[in-house]
Amino acid sequence: MTIAEAGAALATSKISAVELTAAHNDAIAALNPRLNAFITTTPELALSQAKAADARLKAGSAGPLTGIPLAIKDLFCTAGIRTTAGSKILSPFVPPYESTVTQQLLDAGTVFLGKVNLDEFAMGSANITSAYGTVENPWKRNGSDAKLVPGGSSGGSAAAVAARLAMGATGTDTGGSIRQPAAFTGLAGIKPTYGRCSRYGIIAFSSSLDQAGPMARTVEDCAILLQAMAGFDPKDSTSAERALPDFRAATKGGVRGKKIGIPAEYRMDGMSPEILALWEQGIAWLKAEGAEVREISLPHTKYGLPVYYIVAPAEASSNLARYDGVRFGARVDGEDLIDMYERTRAAGFGAEVKRRIMIGTYVLSAGYYDAYYLRAQKIRALILRDFETAFADVDAILTPTAPSAAFGLGEKMDDPVTMYLNDVFTVPASLAGVPAMSVPAGLSAEGLPLGLQVIGKHFDEETVLSVSAALERAAGFSALPTIRAGASA
């Protein structure tokens, strides 16, 4: 059942919010011990929210999300509910405030089932850096029971929604953290334009890149969620003061006459033929739906990833300086203040976070700033210019979401750079701040979901949603993960 369908059923009293929530609480209780998608579950709170939702439904003051049970990435601060960012250093942290995005979802009457797992401070592409354990992808390769990663950093969000433990989830995307796990788990997920969703109350990884967005089983569900999550917030200086379009209506827009760009530079050496074939299929579908497809060039694409691995760690090294054991979070005592800092941070941060703090500290340090950080920001400007040039001619861009399907736990771990290559297709849109969405478009030969990515102009999520919805209709993706609520295990 999709959010759209559940909303209709709730509105017509075919089901109650309490029933819907209880079913999800039960599914979590049954499957979470295996999947480890949730770090914290809040079943009682969810039920009380569901009761309130039922009252609202009865009173006729309900919206399309009233009573819909969601999973919240544990990067969104939730008042009175522990928020860890997947890090040991925040294990005791209970925020006394609510993030703007989750507050807007609460105001819409949604039900929060709990806080879902993620790579520590959202740094990762496989949900293997969390201090609260890895998350298992509910999908399996044909004939294999090997554990696969759900992607990351929003891996808990992806696993929870794919396994039907939640109807939708919030994610955050800094370099692909919504789109890549969505692709790995057969979901739709959109990273809106930078500035579309408030960052207030979302634990920062890289401030100039972080964006919140929804993950759900359909493009329409994402649109419904985005409508509630997005909007201007005076508490975030980078939030855009713009009216919101009707995102759900945009999913019905179709692609007739739309110009779709195919960037030559995304055809990379050694790319899986399967991914290339899927991409060709996507082009064919859009043509069939009446879109005009043309080759475009985004010349600086290959530099996106190295730029990202300078800019994001640089900002992170500064954003994570506040975790010092003084005002909140875990502390390890020391002989003096500096010793206390060093012990606290050594014990509180995991290896990947330390690596990125170190790289970020280095590229900002005296004598290296110009060579690394400043040069990276200049090339970032060129990447933005590439998109602006392309968007003078096309309405949207179609690419694969990730270079491969979900991989096994323990694979691609030889060195950090191999892992970073997961984000090669998603990072450029993040650097340019443009909206991008992943749609499930097919299965790999091994039976794993593959995603296509639609990239749009700044603040043109409507076109992204309409193109994505067209792909979704054409693909007719109906495969289900092996591990899911209601399936006999």
Partner 1 sequence: MSLDTATVRRIAKLARIRVDDAEVATLQTELNAILGYVEQLNEVNVDGVAPLTGGAQMAMRLREDVRTDGEIAEKILANAPDRVDHFFAVPKVVE
Partner 2 sequence: MSSYLLQGNTGTWEIVVGLEVHAQVISEAKLFSGASATYGGAPNAHVSFVDAGFPGMLPVINRECVAQAVRTGLGLRAQINLVSRFDRKNYFYADLPNGYQISQFTHPVVGTGVVEIELQDGTIKQIGITRLHLEQDAGKSMHDQHASKSVIDLNRAGVGLMEIVSEPDIRSPEEAGAYLRKIRQIVRYLGTCDGNMEEGSMRADVNVSVRKAGEEFRTRCEIKNVNSVRFVMHAVEAEAQRQIAVWESGGVVEQETRLYDPAKGETRSMRSKEDAHDYRYFPEPDLLPLVLEQDWVDSLAAGLPELPDDKRRRFCEQYGITFYDAGVLTADQITADFYETVAKGRDAKLAANWISGDFFAALNRTGKTIETSPVSALALGQLLDLISDQTINGRIAKDVFEEMVETGAMPSAIVEAKGLRQVTDTGAIDAAVTAVLAANQDKVAEYKSGKDKLFGFFVGQVMKAMAGKGNPALVNEAVKKQLG
Q: Which of 43, 245, 334, 408 binds partner 1 (CB under 8 A)?
A: 334
Q: Which one-letter amino acid corresponds to residue 80?
A: G
Exposure on the CB side of residue 446, measured as CA atoms within 13 A: 18
The active-site residue out of 16, 87, 130, 153 is 153
The CA-atom distances, in angstroms, between 483 and each of 87, 137, 148, 159, 345 are 27, 8, 12, 10, 37
Q: Residue 194 touches which of partner 1, partner 2, none (CB < 5 to 8 A by kind)?
A: partner 1
Q: Judged by CB under 8 A, does residue 40 bind partner 1?
A: no
Q: Which of 328, 411, 446, 447 binds partner 1 (CB under 8 A)?
A: 328
Q: Residue 420 touches which of partner 1, partner 2, none (CB < 5 to 8 A by kind)?
A: partner 1
Smallest separation (angstroms) from partner 1 to the CB of 309: 6
Residues 108, 47 contacting (CB under 8 angstroms): no
- Catalytic, 297? Answer no
Q: Which of 284, 326, 413, 487 binds partner 1 (CB under 8 A)?
A: 326
Q: Which residues have C-beta within 8 Å of that of residue 8, sequence separation ≥ 6? A: none
Q: Which of 200, 303, 349, 425 binds partner 2 (CB under 8 A)?
A: 200
Smallest separation (angstroms) from partner 1 to the CB of 76: 17
Residue with tokens 């939708």: 168
SS3 445: coil
- Catalytic, 13? Answer no
Distance of CA 341 to the CA centre of its chain: 31
Smallest separation (angstroms) from partner 2 to the CB of 379: 16
What are the helix (H) ranges across 60-134? 100-107
What is the Rg, in whole angstroms, of the alpha carbon atoms belonging to the chain? 21
Window of 67-75, 90-98, 151-159, 161-169 that interacts with partner 1 by CB under 8 A? 90-98
Q: Which one-letter amino acid corresponds to residue 337?
A: L
For residue 418, count CB atoms less than 10 angstroms from its CB and return exposed for 0-12, middle for 13-18, buried for 19 or more: exposed
Q: Residue 382 touches which of partner 1, partner 2, none (CB < 5 to 8 A by kind)?
A: partner 1
Window of 16-24, 156-164, 332-340, 398-406 that interacts with partner 1 by CB under 8 A? 332-340
> Per CB under 8 A, which of residues 95..114 are in contact with partner 1?
96
> Per CB under 8 A, which of residues 111..140 are in contact with partner 1?
none
Question: Phi and psi for 76 in degrees, rounded to 5?
Answer: -90, 125
Q: Judged by CB under 8 A, does residue 339 bind partner 1?
A: yes
Convert residues 3-22 into a mask of x (bound to partner 2 by CB under 8 A) and - (unbound).
--------------------
Smallest separation (angstroms) from partner 2 to the CB of 35: 26
Q: Which of 168, 171, 192, 195 binds partner 1 (CB under 8 A)?
A: 195
SS3 333: coil
Q: Which residues have C-beta within 8 Å of that of residue 100, sequence separation ≥ 6? A: 197, 198, 200, 201, 233, 235, 236
416 sits in which H/E element: helix 416-420
- Catalytic, 144? Answer no
Q: Judged by CB under 8 A, does residue 331 bind partner 1?
A: yes
Kind of pairing between the strands at 449-456 and 396-400: antiparallel
> Per CB under 8 A, which of residues 134..163 are in contact with partner 2?
none
Residues 110, 103 contacting (CB under 8 angstroms): no
Q: Judged by CB under 8 A, does residue 93 bind partner 2?
A: yes
Which residues are catalytically annotated? 73, 153, 177
By CB under 8 A, name the binding residues for partner 2.
Answer: 76-77, 83, 85, 90, 93, 95-97, 99, 199-204, 206-208, 234-238, 314-315, 317-318, 320-322, 324, 326-328, 337-338, 341, 361, 364-366, 369, 373
